[in-house]
Amino acid sequence: MSKEYDSKDIVILEGLDAVRMRPGMYIGTTGPKGLHHLLWEIVDNSVDEIANGFGDTIKVTLEEDGSAQVEDNGRGIPVDIHPQKKVSGVEVVFTQLHAGGKFESDNYNFSGGLHGVGASVANALSRWLNVSVFRDGYEYEMQFESKGSGKNIKSGVPVAPLKKVGKTDRRGTLIRFMPDDRVFEDVRFDLETVSKRLREIAFLNKGIRIELIDERRLTNGEPFKQVFKYDGGLLDFVKFLNENKTVEHGNPIYFEAKSDLVQIECAMQYTNNYTENTFSYVNNIPTSEGGTHETGLKNAITHAFTDLGKKAGLIKDKEPALIGEDFREGLTIVLAIKMRNVQFEGQTKTKLGNTEIKPEVESLSYQKLMEFFDKGANKQILELAISKAKQAAKVREAARKAKEITRAKNSIENSNLIGKLSSCTGKKAEQNELFIVEGESAGGSAKQARDRSFQAILALRGKPLNAEKKRLAQILANEEIRTIISALGTGIGEDFNLSNLKYHKVIILSDADQDGAHIRAILITFFFRYMKELILNGHLYIGLPPLYKVAKRDVVEYVYSDAELPEAIEKVGKGYTIQRYKGLGEMNPEQLWDTTMDPSKRSLMRVTLDDAANAELLVTTLMGDNIDARKAYISEHANFNREENFALKQNN
């Protein structure tokens, strides 16, 4: 790989056009996810520089004025004149879409992000962006601004050409930018979101040091600061994911491998859970829908463990064959690969589609697993793996022989839902909605309130089973779970088929109290563990009923959060009454329709899986067996000082 990095290495594919006109094409959304995407693209450029051997530290600062700053100690963006564009490399990078040094392998073996889109898009969607480059003993500066108003805004215009400021001993690039409030719904970066992603990047890039500073949050006069550095890489990542679970062996299984096509790093560890949890990444990008790399690894695990078990005499020839899911029960797996020419597919473009990667990952992983267990010290882990797989197979086989799961599935498909499900008349699944509500009172109101042409109501009569602590056969024995599966029509487990989904919006509608929150958590956990495709494809929602009703005679304002309450009170005026809704059953059908079910007025929160690893951690913490971890999380995030004195209040 060439150590030279000049403007001639920056390949331009097309100019910067229409980014502000259609920001969704480049960052997906102008909501919080899109806002943070700007930051990720700038960070990814620094990560690519360091991951390819140039530098070791990235510093991210959330400034008090709302801007963000990213600094690295890499080589620095080229400052010489680009041979085609006749301007500096810095100006090319920030004003030309698809301009960067990542299209040729001479400068970057592997890269994440949008392959050169990031820097220019961040510039186009910012009020201003300033760049400082420290290179070859000198400091250079350049500023960009988005000028104008309405439809006549010129995005990311250079204020002046790149200028040399003076001499310096520093090296690298520093970028500070202010997201444009004319583009984004909210321009405030969320500390927790930024912190989680930077921690994940540090896990995925062994030894990289990432500093996070939040100037907006002071403690004893000092800004909040976190440092992420994991010399163990994915070893540390798996331990982190399992810290609230009961692990069954100390050191995780770990290997690295490399070929001309791909670099692989993988770590896995057994816990006493009954579900498999696999998290995969390609060039630091999460692949929550899996893909060819995951398939290759899982095939390797099945073949390697089978061959190793037979070789060690742990699996006898006459014993029933063990299958892949037997070996992976209770296994937490993190797989990270790096490759060129990535092809993503799937609904959310988070599934690797490169067919050549499957046999490559399978072959390399098989070889490395055989080497790992060839060491005598790791024999106990192999014995544990085979023992767990045999137990999982016994449960699976016993269920099959007794036809427990078959009977459960048959009863699910044919169960009598009269009295539980009030179906809709609409025949088009993409237009239909299913509201899952708890209790007869809420179910009765919802049935009367709905538009039966496209809205169905499923009233649960008890709390569903916590899927975090049970095997599938036990879960299928729960009447409420069977009712949900029957209503959706998709089947479950190996029989799951998303194309059979009867309702493209599945809406959990529960009371705004502790019990309602618990039911919501149980249902989301079930969907996360056994119907993850519903979440990945954007079909699962949470309905948001109002917390308060502020009224004065015929003037009524419904309030959905504590923050909105003062504004509603001011709007209604003196002489108002406030009612705090404790449950859906307190609302009559007309109120429930107006506030929660009418598509033109209601608020829905889509359940997403942008960060599968953090979702796994949260589900384990809240729904698992570690009581201390759950208490610690609740103590940190719950508001115990909130006053509940609005049951019925008269203001004069």
Query: Known catalytic residue: 511?
Result: yes
Query: Known catalytic residue: 438?
Result: yes
Three-class secondary structure assignment of 495-513: HCCHHHCCCCEEEEECCCC
Positive or negative, the Cα torsion across 530, 485, 468, 493?
Answer: negative
DSSP SS3 for 431: helix
Q: Are strands 99-100 and 11-12 parallel, antiparallel or unpaired?
A: antiparallel
Smallest CA-to-CA distance from 455 within 463, 445, 465, 464 is with 445
Phi/psi of residue 548, nearest 5 degrees: -135, 155
Q: Which of 360, 511, 557, 616 is catalytic?
A: 511
Asked whether 416 and 358 are in contact (CB, 8 A), the reply is no
Q: Which of 362, 438, 468, 594 is catalytic?
A: 438
Query: Known catalytic residue: 554?
Result: no
Q: H or E stretch including 338?
A: strand 331-339
Q: How far is CA 53 from CA 50, 75, 110, in A?
A: 5, 10, 11
Q: Report the distance separating Cα 256 and Cα 208, nearest Å.
A: 17
* Encoded amino acid at 514, one letter: Q
Q: Report the distance separating Cα 306 and Cα 466, nearest Å.
A: 32
Query: Known catalytic residue: 169?
Result: no
DSSP SS3 for 71: strand
Q: Report the distance separating Cα 73 and Cα 56, nearest Å.
A: 7
- Residues in contact with 41: Cβ distance below 8 Å, sequence separation at least 6, in sequence order: 113, 114, 117, 118, 119, 121, 122
Q: Report the distance separating Cα 283 and Cα 296, nearest Å.
A: 17
Q: Which of 80, 515, 564, 586 is catalytic?
A: 515
Residue 249 burial by Cβ neighbours in a 10 Å radius (0-12, 13-18, 19+): middle
455-475: b (≥16 Cβ within 10 Å) or e: bbbbbbeeebbbbbebebbbb
DSSP SS3 for 177: strand
Q: Which of 513, 567, 570, 590 is catalytic?
A: 513
Smallest CA-to-CA distance from 507 within 463, 580, 454 is with 454
Q: Report the distance separating Cα 468 and Cα 245, nearest Å.
A: 11
Q: Report the distance separating Cα 275 and Cα 496, nearest Å.
A: 16
The catalytic residue positions are 438, 511, 513, 515
